[in-house]
Chain A
Amino acid sequence: MPVAFLNFMEVTMNGLMAGVLYALVALGFVLIYKASGIFNYAQGVMALFSALTLVGIMEGQVPFSHLINAILGTEIHHFGWHINAFFGILFTMVVMVGLAYCVQRFVFRHLVGQEPIILFMATIGLAYFMEGLGDLMWGSDIKTLDVGLPQGGSLAIENLTVGLAAEGARYYGMYIDKLDMVATVVAAILVVALVLFAQYTKQGRAMRAVADDHQAALSVGISLNFIWILVWSLAGFVAIVAGVMWGAKSGVQFSLSLIALKALPVLMLGGFTSIPGAIVGGLIIGVGEKVFEYQFGPMLGGATENWFAYVLALLFLVFRPQGLFGEKIIERV
């Protein structure tokens, strides 16, 4: 096989895996949007917050330690324990469920029946609040998150592919990040689980019912409050997964919350209401931007990854506004 083709393959593979990570963030958006019509701007910050919390819990950091020390004049920073990743994630989940409850109880319960733009503004406020809360609780320094996920390129794949090139060609095998591979498997499991949950369980059905018609759902005895807490908890769970993957890749730091911006074009492609759409959209964006950069980047002066996704999303908005898998708007006349 010619080297150029193998390189193209490698770029595509890496694109697919980057796409999975985008999709993980987009998933959280879809869940909340579907069930409550709220476009949750805070999803990216939720990923950051959950990653911060996870690191904090695993390292035995004392929450609000700066604040406590400043007020009481003490010098405490650590409880002095280390918790393994499994229990760390479990505790983080508990925190995210608590957060979901608070968000519902103190913010959105008071905004039922308001305009979507007002709900959107509320999520922007929420995003900044959580950003500040994360800083206050866990400090603003960059942290490394080590939950035992494999790092670096896969040697096996490199050895497997090095022989594919023609004899005597200068080719050293494909570089595929092991972490990306894990992320792909985890995302696939997550999506299948979420789809099964939404399609075949009572609460999942109730969730879709609420998404369709709040009042009718209320009239058959579905508690909107409960469903919304459930949905925010699920989104919190997805945020943890995204936070762990991105955090392990690039460290837990403020810029983690900006991945939300990459999720926007994914949503426009896949549709705001479709769980599989979020995945496919993520993959298309991931592959699209990597391949585009590889093929046309040099001609355009590089850095096309910064804007490619948004241009693609714009084209979709023009020709297929509901996205690839978005629910068709059913309107009977």
Chain B
Amino acid sequence: MLDAGHTEEALLEVNNIEVIYNHVILVLKGVSLSVPKGGITALLGGNGAGKTTTLKAISNLLHSERGEVTKGSIIYRGERIQDQDPAELVKKGVIQVMEGRHCFEHLTVEENLLTGAYTRSGAKVARDLEMVYDYFPRLRERRKSQAGYTSGGEQQMVAIGRALMSQPETILLDEPSMGLAPQLVEEIFGIVKSLNENEGVTFLLAEQNTNVALRYAHYGYILESGRVVMDGPAADLRENPDVKEFYLGMSDEGRKSFRDVRSYRRRKRWLS
């Protein structure tokens, strides 16, 4: 790889993995990526590109959906982690925030956060709870309300806060912008950024909102139908004409109106 960000120590390395669901459906066809320590790495692509599957392959949540990694390897700090329980991974510092929030609806906000500390014990838990409340003051106000009745933005904060309670080294963040107002999306990403800078948390985030993701990430991978089709530093990707056209909705003449899209030339495929 040519870029500077990649010469740093790679914390997580995914080498050419294949994922098959239900023994027949091939979803990932050889995805490789590497996540440097202390960076924000974005995984971009449309619906069904394989972003979520990649994250779940890493955190080993595929099993409950009848998926499995059939080829390739996933290395974390030089150790293969494919066959480890999600619980073991959480103890090692890798935790996933799932797409669509997945709060425990009938638990209060505070109880939700405390479940994040399930694998730990001791007095530090109380201190971390305060830290989470400092990052998400809104959660402090709503600590006693049932998570199911909080807003979408608050649920996303609960989900991220809950992951933080496990004292993670790496957070796999799946589509944090899903279903949120643009202002909230900025707020969430702002917090991700400050967590990255102040707490040194490494992020691998899957996002459809290419525009926001590339503004906050350091490095990006673009996935299409289960393959990585392009990667590079976020700043380069932002300037890449193809990315601009296909993912950011911009062309040389600036923003296109919906009317022009009809006569838009067929989307260029890197593969097929």
Chain A residues engaging chain B, CB cutoff 8 angstroms: 112-113, 202, 205-206, 208-209, 211-223, 327, 330, 332
CB–CB B106/A215 < 8 A: no
CB–CB B104/A209 < 8 A: yes
CB–CB A216/B86 < 8 A: no
CB–CB B98/A215 < 8 A: yes
Cross-interface CB contact of B107 among A208, A219, A221, A222, cutoff 8 Å: A208
Given the complex, which residues of A lie within 8 Å of B86, measured CB to CB?
218-219, 221
Given the complex, which residues of B lie within 8 Å of A330, measured CB to CB?
105-106, 146, 148-149
Contact A327 B64, CB 8 Å, known A219-B95, A222-B118: no
Given the complex, which residues of A lie within 8 Å of B106, measured CB to CB?
208, 211-212, 327, 330
Contact A332 B98, CB 8 Å, known A219-B61, A220-B163: no
**Is B36 an interface residue, CB under 8 A from the partner?**
no
Contact A213 B114, CB 8 Å, known A221-B87, A223-B85: no
The smallest C-beta distance from A271 to any residue of chain B, in angstroms, reads 13
Total cross-chain contacts (CB, 8 A): 84
Contact A209 B87, CB 8 Å, known A217-B115, A219-B61, A221-B95: no
Given the complex, which residues of A lie within 8 Å of B115, measured CB to CB?
205-206, 209, 217, 220, 222
In whole angstroms, what is the CA distance A276 to B157 when docked?
32
CB–CB B102/A219 < 8 A: yes
Given the complex, which residues of A lie within 8 Å of B57, measured CB to CB?
none
The smallest C-beta distance from B254 to any residue of chain A, in angstroms, reads 36
**Is B96 an interface residue, CB under 8 A from the partner?**
yes
Given the complex, which residues of B lie within 8 Å of A113, measured CB to CB?
64-66
Interface string of B137-153 (1 = CB under 8 A from A): 00000000010110010
CB–CB A332/B152 < 8 A: yes
**Is B116 an interface residue, CB under 8 A from the partner?**
yes
Contact A205 B64, CB 8 Å, known A216-B98, A220-B116, A222-B87: no
In whole angstroms, what is the CA distance A219 to B165 when docked?
13
**Is B194 an interface residue, CB under 8 A from the partner?**
no
In whole angstroms, what is the CA distance A213 to B162 when docked?
14
Chain B residues engaging chain A, CB cutoff 8 angstroms: 59, 61, 64-66, 85-87, 89-91, 95-98, 102-107, 111-112, 114-116, 118-119, 121, 146, 148-149, 152, 162-163, 166
CB–CB A215/B61 < 8 A: yes
In whole angstroms, what is the CA distance A219 to B114 when docked?
14
Given the complex, which residues of A lie within 8 Å of B162, measured CB to CB?
220
Cross-interface CB contact of B118 among A208, A214, A220, A332, cutoff 8 Å: A220
Listed A/B pairs (28) with beta-carbon separation below 8 Å = A113-B65, A202-B114, A202-B121, A206-B115, A206-B118, A208-B106, A208-B107, A209-B112, A211-B106, A212-B104, A213-B102, A213-B103, A213-B104, A215-B61, A215-B102, A217-B104, A218-B87, A219-B61, A219-B86, A220-B95, A220-B115, A220-B162, A221-B118, A222-B87, A222-B115, A223-B85, A223-B87, A330-B148
Cross-interface CB contact of B114 among A205, A218, A223, A332, cutoff 8 Å: A205
Mostly helix, strand, loop or mixed at chain A's interface?
A: helix
CB–CB B163/A221 < 8 A: no
In whole angstroms, what is the CA distance A217 to B64 when docked?
12
CB–CB A208/B104 < 8 A: yes
CB–CB A221/B91 < 8 A: yes
The smallest C-beta distance from B196 to any residue of chain A, in angstroms, reads 20
CB–CB A220/B166 < 8 A: yes
Given the complex, which residues of B lie within 8 Å of A218, measured CB to CB?
61, 64, 86-87
Residue of B nearest to A331 (CB): B148
State the 7 A-B residue pairs at the shortest beta-carbon distance, nearest first.
Answer: A221-B90, A330-B148, A216-B102, A212-B104, A221-B119, A221-B87, A209-B104
The smallest C-beta distance from A272 to any residue of chain B, in angstroms, reads 13
The smallest C-beta distance from A199 to any residue of chain B, in angstroms, reads 9
In whole angstroms, what is the CA distance A202 to B87 when docked?
15
Given the complex, which residues of B lie within 8 Å of A215, measured CB to CB?
61, 64, 98, 102
Residue of A nearest to B102 (CB): A216
Given the complex, which residues of B lie within 8 Å of A202, measured CB to CB?
114, 118, 121
In whole angstroms, what is the CA distance A309 to B233 when docked?
68
The smallest C-beta distance from A13 to any residue of chain B, in angstroms, reads 35
